Every structure is written in C-alpha cells, then in structure tokens.
Amino acid sequence: MRLFGTGLRPCPYLHDRPSQFDFVDPRLTPTPALYDELLTQGFRRGGEHLYRTACPGCQACQSLRIPVGEFTPRRRHRRCLRDNADVDLVNVGFRFDPAHFALYDRYVRARHPGGGMDEADPDLYWQYLTASWCPTEFLEMRLAGQLLGVAVTDDTGGALSAVYTFFDPDLPRRSLGTLAILLQIEEARRRQREWLYLGYWIAGLAGMTYKAGFRPHERLTSMGWEPVPAS
C-alpha cells in the first residue's frame, strides 16, 4: 500500500510548528477490514481519504481509543448520563438530512468562528463526513423528538470510530459532547465491538482534555499502544 505525503503547512493545533500528513493512495478503495487495521496504526478518515500525521520532529498527536468492555464511568460521566436520562439515541443510518446540516451550521458558527469551518456548505459537509466505501451511521440525540445533536460514527466491524459530533451550542449544561461519547461507548458495547476510537489527542491542549478523561484508554506512541489505567 502506497502512502503520499503532503507538503509542510502550519499546524492547526500547535501554531508554532509545521504539520505534515501521509495519505493512503487515493486510487485504492479501502474495505472496512482494512480500515479497521489502519485505525490500529493511527490513521483517521476525512471524507473518502485515510491519513495520519507525519510531522517532522513532532509526535504530539496521539491516537486515542477506549476499550469499551473495560470502560468505567467517572463521577462526571455518571452525572452527565443522569442529567440526560431523557435523551434518546436514534440511529438513522446513512442519509443526508437538512435538519442535521442546519444544526451542523449552527454548531460550527458558534464553536469555530473564523476557523474556515464556519462557512458551511451542504456538499462540503457531506463530503467531509462520509465515504462511499465506509459503513457510516448518523446517531441522533433527541429529547422528546427535538434534535439535540448528531454523532457521525463509522463501524468497521471490529470497532466504532467517532468521526465528528455536532450539537446544539445553546445547551452547554447538558454536556452533549461528553454524552455523545458515552452513548457511543454503550452502542459499541451493545454491538460487541472492542474499541471506540476518538481520533487524535494532544497533551495540554485544552480543546482535547476531555478525551483523556475517558478511562481506561490507550494512546498510540512510538512504542505502540500504551494503556492508561482507570485511576
């Protein structure tokens, strides 16, 4: 399998460093089984493309995954589940929904103003979240029929991978981002999947701190997957 590297560009997370990525040959049509294997090697999916970080002199980005059979909710997780006991998870499968896009548009405008994502376009939104070869599902969070959020999730057959989550930005007390991960963990356990992949984690980056709070988990380092215990 051939990899193609990008040129150097400013890092979107650590602004004083350059970033670079390796992409799987776009002429290759992946299978869910191959995708599952590539997740174990630190790859992520963006639209049709599979990539991983290959930044010179930097290994700050570490893939993070949760062994769902071993996960233990912490106090704040139990509180989040308790406070959202009235929220239902609804799997609507793989389809474009204008209500989803409208919520995505609100979310990125509120959470990522000026970051390039806040100029939402339906076609780019769909290209960013889906792939023709990938088993992707849109998991809705609903309260008495009202759409609160959507967790876009891939199912490789061996694991679930959290692609992107967007939710009502006017409901901060519900901690819908945390709720989405907890519900994905429950869904992975129900399907007897071994892992939930949460994408990259960077130590000390405020916007990613929440990922490390889900324990136990594993982080991919230069020495392989290293377990982080529950306590």
Q: List 146's β-bridge partners, or say none.
A: 143
In this structure, how many other beta carbons lie within 10 angstroms of the beta carbon of residue 57?
A: 6
Q: Determine the pLDDT at residue 85.
A: 97
Helix (H) or strand (E) holding 178: helix 176-190
Backbone angles phi, psi at 170, to 5 degrees: -95, 10
Q: Determine the pLDDT at residue 116.
A: 55
Cis bond before residue 122 (omega within 30° of 0): no
Residue-averaged pLDDT of the chain: 94
Above 90 in pLDDT, residue 226? yes
Q: Determine the pLDDT at residue 231.
A: 77
Q: How confident is the model at residue 184 (pLDDT cuts 50, 70, 90)?
A: very high
Domain ranges of the chain: 3-62, 64-228
Domain 64-228 has CATH 1.10.10.10: no
**Residues 17-51: pLDDT tens digits?**
999 999 999 999 999 999 999 999 999 999 999 99
Q: How confident is the model at residue 117 (pLDDT cuts 50, 70, 90)?
A: low
Above 70 in pLDDT, residue 118? no
